Structure 1
Amino acid sequence: MNKYGAECEKRCDARQCSGISTCNHVTGECINDCKPGYQGIDCIQVQCTDGCKPGYREDDCTVKCETGLYGAGCSKKYSDRKCDDNTNCDSKTGECIDGCQPGFQFTDCTLECDEGFYGYNCSSNCSARFCQSEDQCSKIDGACDCLAGYQGTDCTLIKEASKDNDKDTGHDNKDTTIIILAVVISILVVILIIFVVVFIKYRKSQGTNHTDNNVYESNGPTTAHIYDDLGSRNPENFTNHPSSVYYNTSGVSIDASQ
């Protein structure tokens, strides 16, 4: 069996030469190049035709990335990430363990926020701010010029003066309510007083009418008494002197001849 290399430790038939090739006893070189997926002078090194997995490099993808590099073929740099801390970098994914700086996203924090979002992990919505112009929205902090009554870098905080005004408005509303209640109660009291006065007058008028009725009833017997007095006298006096008849309503006998 043909061999090659130092101390002839390599076998010529283990090579992956393309076509028939002689086998140099020193290098084992394949004269017609290598079969697909292999590389090297003697075509025994595996070649990753689809590239290496993240964290590895070289044609055979057997060498790990050096410090400061990560990703497929070790093509990305730690320094390009926007991590929220200075944590060590995973050589395969470059993941930022403690999250991204404001304005960036993805595992390795290399992508800016999508349009309309900003802040840590791109979690804040530009439309939730109170800006004079919606066209201004920094992906890092959402900075813009605020509308009246709002403050903060991203105009999401209500000014203290506005809060005080709200409190004052609340106090004014309470005062107004108290005043309205006082007026209503006063009106009800006045109505009650008027009702009581009218009722008392009504009761008094009823008492007066009752007294008048009693007086009228007491006059009945007095009148009858008058006729009795007159009847006891000579009837001729009444016939001959009709103009001399007097009615005594007080119950005292009156001489008809006077």
Structure 2
Amino acid sequence: MCQHGGECNSVTGACLCMPGWQGDNCTTPCTNGTYGFNCTQKCTCQNGGLCRASDGKCRCKPGWMGSRCTEICAEGFYGDHCMSSCDCKENFVCSPISGCVCRYGFTGEYCNIRLVDRSVMYFEEEPKSNSGIVVGTCVAVLLVVVIVICIVFYYKRRVNHLKNELAYVT
């Protein structure tokens, strides 16, 4: 017995299936990518569009239109069959797939945060260089070494001076 509107041939008993169906009893739907009587026609949908099994008409993904889904939505339109119109505010652009999205270089709920500003802020917030601390430490150590050398020479000279005075007294 033929299903889904298929007709039985009175002579052979074979089913003549309606478009979109196949198999001995017309119970198997066309596989993806085929359509028509006994699913013998190949679908020609592009860009991810789905083919209707009965007549091969394409159901385009959002952002695409045309009989084979080869045309992108016109400027200012988006979504299924490009039927929705965009009314984008400042710093927004109309995406053919999802409607208003932030213009390149902007982010945030209202697209009012510049990404460039964030990168500048990021660089400003980076820790400062330690070169000043290193130079300061080197200068301090050098100064301490010079002071120690001066003290050693001072005491050496004083000891020599005291030795001379003691030698003169005795």
| TM-score when normalising by structure 1 | 0.35
Tell me which protein shows more helix as a share of its residues: 1
| TM-score when normalising by structure 2 | 0.49
Which one has a bigger Cα radius of gyration? Answer: 1
Could you say which structure has the greater relative contact order, defined with CA pairs below 8 angstroms and 6 or more residues apart? 2
